[in-house]
Chain A
């Protein structure tokens, strides 16, 4: 897929302009920016990591008008979901050159949403959608230069990362970030993935109460998840700034 990393790739990567994947930044990043001013957000972090690994990504034209459909599906809005699915699928088919490139998405819920959208795709060469965490674990981690790990990381796997089966990849990234990775004993879905956390805050409050206490007791150096709304939910619950693991990985491994 790409040249093996060498010392020189750390200096300056020559864009080959032949993209290896189509990047679908989730719209939740637009609606809810980075955790604190001064941090870059997952999109920039992921792009930086890809750059260092010599990977070219293609962001489809018209991305701002696209969505994985989860807001509609979660509200049970069938017409809106159909409209959005149709639009997104058409753009992705074109951008991936009819399925030749994989689609990479940077929020686990949206990765799942996109997977649902492509289920309706009956083309001969169906699209593949990979979560950025999994993509990074296989394509980026092996080529990272030497760096110092942070002491500890509190990790919040999400419902979608569990459903997608990418928790092993999430663990791999987390282990690459910190000497000690801790998942709270009372871990569970924070209920913030769809719109429920904003519509019914009592639901997220209840879902996060026990695990938030675990997290506060841990006193970890950093706090990470892999889906923006869940990061917000866990931030609300714990008072600790949750960010995307790849954003933190980028920071920790920055040359």
Chain B
């Protein structure tokens, strides 16, 4: 696969061609800060793009693909940037497909929904809520993960399993192929059109289906592998599950991680949102007992069965607001399952719970099962479960990064696998690697924290991975259940599926993208050490933000996201500056710092919205305010201190000034005001704007005339009351 990079000489030609391909050349960004700020996704890999392009529509993506083909550069689509396996980064051209692809259209009274790829899962669910419906895939990252990313990663979550995931709930998709052809798989004559316009692809898919179906070993492997949640390699089950090439195409796009085509629009069937919920934490004496209970509990119709091991519970005890049931426990070898039942009515819920309890009562529990519908306690229980990642990721030692694994094995093998995992953690001396996750699907996560960039860290990770692969594949599992193959598991696709199916997958890539324009190095990668390269360094920069895991959850709520940077981008740019300093690249330091002042510091609204979304409660605004403070010019600082001492006068003067300007034509004010901003800088002199109202009255002496005709207010001032 080609991994072309843009050299200095050809750079300007490529950039010129990219600029010509979009309606506004300013949407092709090449300043250092654009490249470094946008480079990072949530994974532990890092590549720096040559250019960042904000695309507006499918036609523009088509034009960019033509430029890529003509100029020999490669493209990677970036949406929410919450990917964990290294599939949303590039050293080629990064195409932002989140900002301008936000349309959501509810169809058939909420039974279906048409969505563009940049809309978040949360936005779709907000729209569907009033119809009593929701989006099938339920990743924990729903606030930031977008539909494009969910489709491309075949994302799932704790409830949807393999029943309501992307593969199952996607009805049709509009795809822009690397050739520039646009395919709407929902069109009545979609299959004929595909044959007419892409005969090689069409016949190639038919041929691959024949080849796979006629190979019993392939059929057996596919059936076994895709009975589990599985995002390793391409979704070759499409070749068995569908007869029309256009349907195979639609379902191969699911989980293709941006390597086969651009998802321009999707139609999904939705699932009912069941408003009645009851939750309990079942505490077992050990992992064995907890996982042994799974099949029986699954049979009771439990919506979620989230596993937490003893270490998770111990860490949970330290979280503020931990539920009483955990606090009271003297944790030894315990393990817990967070069990939830969902129903459309309270009667249905009662029935479900009754049958559920018949099973629960037969289980070997340390504490009695205590189901609750109380929102407060349920909140605490989920806080415990969802707090595990931040607790590990956010408290990791400085200079280390956290890597989240995502394995799946058949449920009967889960206990054995977890025990073996713990043995591996001990063998490789990984600390704080709690095991938790979606046990009902045999899918568990654990985190490794280390300085993966150091030679010892890398060697340790390399050997651990070999053992992990042996363990999981030995149990008939998959190395990635829901986070995608990315770069981290690309070297192991062949081992997981065998030579024949791996060759089928390689053939799929060539059929769709013969020139290797899209996201090279991801999902299929011939380098056996791809997972050990391009790892991210995380230098310490500021205590307010050093625990940032670069998850991207803060981005959708940031008011400056479409004008300059997001909180994550503010943080990673600082890390880039520091890394450049450590590397002795002072030219880069200067270049980044030049734009950091306006893009990061000045245009941060400091509203703290990022903190409301951040799993480790970082308020990037606090840091930006501190940087303003450190920057503040001493004269300006002194003036503001004088203002603090005389605030009453200042507010009244500001009020009077506004009253004066009201009676003067706007232009008269604007001209000198703009001049002052030009001289003193826009960060010091506020811009007067015509819709600002006139000033208000003193807070003490209100303009009673504007009050409604009323009796005297009973508000009293201090002096009066005090002496009354």
Contacts and interface: CB of A to CB of B under 8 A. Distances in A.
A206 B560 CA distance: 7
A198 interface: yes
Contacts of A203: 559-560, 563-564, 603, 605
Contacts of A250: 708
Interface string A143-161: 0000000000000000110
Interface stretch (A33-41, A119-127, A134-142, A169-177): A33-41
Interface in A158-192: 159-160, 162-163, 185-186, 188-192
Contacts of B647: 27, 64-67, 84
Interface residues of A, number: 88
A98 interface: no
B693 A35 contact: yes
Interface string B199-238: 0000000000000000000000000000000000000000
A67 B646 CA distance: 11
Contact of B706 (A25, A38, A84, A207): A38
Given A58-B718, A76-B632, A31 B557 contact: no
A182 B707 CA distance: 28
A77 B317 CA distance: 39
A86 to B, nearest CB: 9
Given A27-B647, A33-B693, A76 B699 contact: no
A72 B646 CA distance: 13
A202 interface: yes
Contact of A77 (B602, B611, B640): B640
A44 B706 contact: yes
B695 interface: yes
Interface string A35-65: 1111111011001101100001111111111
Contacts of A77: 629, 632, 636-637, 640-641, 644
B655 A163 contact: no
Nearest to B646: A65
A219 interface: no
B332 interface: no
A30 B698 contact: yes
Given A194-B605, A194-B606, A203-B563, A17 B697 contact: no
B714 interface: yes
Contacts of A37: 694, 706
B683 interface: yes
A181 to B, nearest CB: 13
Contacts of B602: 199-200
Contact of A30 (B630, B696, B716): B696
A58 B720 CA distance: 9
B691 interface: yes
B569 to A, nearest CB: 15
Contacts of B533: none
Nearest to A66: B647
Interface stretch (B31-39, B178-186, B444-452, B620-628): B620-628
Contact of A33 (B688, B696, B718, B721): B696
Nearest to A200: B603
A191 B695 contact: no
B695 A207 contact: no
B691 A64 contact: no
B118 to A, nearest CB: 12
Given A163-B608, A191-B607, A198 B689 contact: yes
A141 B453 CA distance: 59
Contacts, number: 251
A207 B564 CA distance: 11
A64 B716 contact: no
Given A65-B648, A80-B637, A159 B643 contact: no
Contacts of B645: 83
B640 A75 contact: yes
B597 to A, nearest CB: 12
A59 to B, nearest CB: 5
Interface in A199-222: 199-207, 209-210
B555 to A, nearest CB: 11
A60 B699 CA distance: 10
Contacts of B636: 77
B562 interface: yes
Contacts of A47: 713-715
B560 A19 contact: no
B4 interface: no
B711 interface: yes
A79 B651 CA distance: 19
Contacts of A32: 655, 658, 692-693, 695-696
A40 B558 CA distance: 33
B654 interface: yes
Which of A32, A50, A66, A163 has the most B CB atoms < 10 Å from its CB?
Answer: A32
Given A43-B702, A58-B716, A160-B608, 17 more contacts: A19-B716, A30-B695, A33-B696, A34-B696, A48-B707, A50-B715, A58-B717, A61-B719, A76-B627, A76-B631, A83-B641, A186-B102, A194-B606, A200-B603, A200-B682, A202-B563, A207-B562
28 contacts: A17-B724, A25-B699, A33-B695, A33-B696, A44-B713, A57-B716, A59-B716, A60-B718, A64-B652, A65-B648, A67-B647, A74-B606, A75-B640, A76-B631, A79-B637, A159-B559, A159-B607, A163-B611, A185-B123, A194-B605, A194-B606, A198-B688, A199-B683, A202-B563, A203-B563, A206-B563, A210-B102, A250-B708
Interface of A: 12-13, 15, 17, 19, 23, 25, 27, 29-41, 43-44, 47-48, 50-51, 56-67, 71-81, 83-84, 87, 95, 112, 159-160, 162-163, 185-186, 188-196, 198-207, 209-210, 232, 235-236, 250-251, 254
Interface of B: 102, 123, 126-127, 557, 559-560, 562-564, 602-609, 611-612, 625-632, 636-638, 640-641, 643-648, 651-652, 654-655, 658, 682-689, 691-700, 702, 706-708, 710-711, 713-719, 721, 724
